[in-house]
Amino acid sequence: MNHNDSLYKKSHFNRLGEFSTLSPESFKTFVAFDKKALSEGTLTAKLKELIAVAVAHTTGCPHCIDFHVKQVKKHRASKEEMAESIMVATALKAGSALAHGVNALNAYDGTADDELYRASYINRLKEFSQLDGDAFKAFVTFDQQAMKAGLLSVKEKELIAIAVAHTTGCPYCIDIHTKAAKKAKATREEVAESIMVATALKAGSALSHGVNALVAYDE
């Protein structure tokens, strides 16, 4: 493979610093925000990095995965804890697609309601048990397994789920998992911190892909 045929290299990430001269004020303020969002607060730095790893898998940012896995390892998270966070991300990304299926049912049935998102629409989800029962049952089993307490507590998993839901853009998931996190005794501040990590990672994914733009521009 020639150099020009490679769109994504780990070494491309070394070019990130170029944005400090190309767009200095924006780059500087983003870096400050990113550092603050990932620093120890109400949530531990370790949990924030586990959230970051999960979110990086839903934004699809290989540089972010590489960076935050190394960071979470520095904070003494085990490979098993990392795997649990990734499974929560997997369940939430799949769950977002399924949750939006209630909108597909509304569209197929030609409902006259102008409101695209109502919390009550999620009640239609059970219809998939009749429409594609085996697949629906298998997903529900996986989702329950991914979200139950393991090395990570239910509260920790729900905080990860909230962050991921903000990157998949699923209003139903945000509603369900915020309520579940509250039930698991998460505070409003802890929920806010998980959202800030998601915000930093979603923005960071865009910036990380910027190094590919630099490579493309310079060819």
The full set of domains in the chain, from first to last, is 15-218 (1.20.1290.10)
Quickly state the pLDDT bin for 4 (edges 50, 70, 90).
low
Q: State the Rg of the chain over Cα.
A: 19
**pLDDT, tens digit, 9 for 90 and up, residues 138-193:** 999 999 999 999 999 999 999 999 999 999 999 999 999 999 999 999 999 999 99
| 26, 203 contact by CB (below 8 A) | no
Q: What is the mean pLDDT of the chain?
A: 94
pLDDT of residue 112: 77
**What integer is the mean pLDDT of 55-69?**
95
Is residue 82 pLDDT above 70, yes or no?
Answer: yes
| 180, 91 contact by CB (below 8 A) | no
Is residue 9 pLDDT above 70, yes or no?
Answer: yes
Neighbours of 143 (CB within 10 A): 18
pLDDT of residue 47: 98
* Cα separation values, 2 from 5, 6, 7, 39, 209, Å: 5, 7, 11, 40, 20
What is the token pair recorded at 1?
């493979």
Q: What angle do CA 125, 136, 151 make, to 5 degrees?
A: 100
pTM: 0.93
Residue 161, amino acid: A
Which sign, positive or negative, has the C-alpha torsion 145, 146, 147, 151? positive
Neighbours of 6 (CB within 10 A): 12
Neighbours of 1 (CB within 10 A): 5
**pLDDT, tens digit, 9 for 90 and up, residues 88-134:** 999 999 999 999 999 999 999 998 788 999 999 999 999 999 999 99
Rounded Cα–Cα distance for residues 49 and 68 (Å) = 6
Rounded Cα–Cα distance for residues 48 and 33 (Å) = 14
| 194, 53 contact by CB (below 8 A) | no
Q: Tell me the H-state helices in the chain.
A: 19-22, 24-38, 45-59, 62-74, 79-99, 101-109, 128-131, 133-147, 154-168, 171-183, 188-218
Quickly state the pLDDT bin for 2 (edges 50, 70, 90).
very low
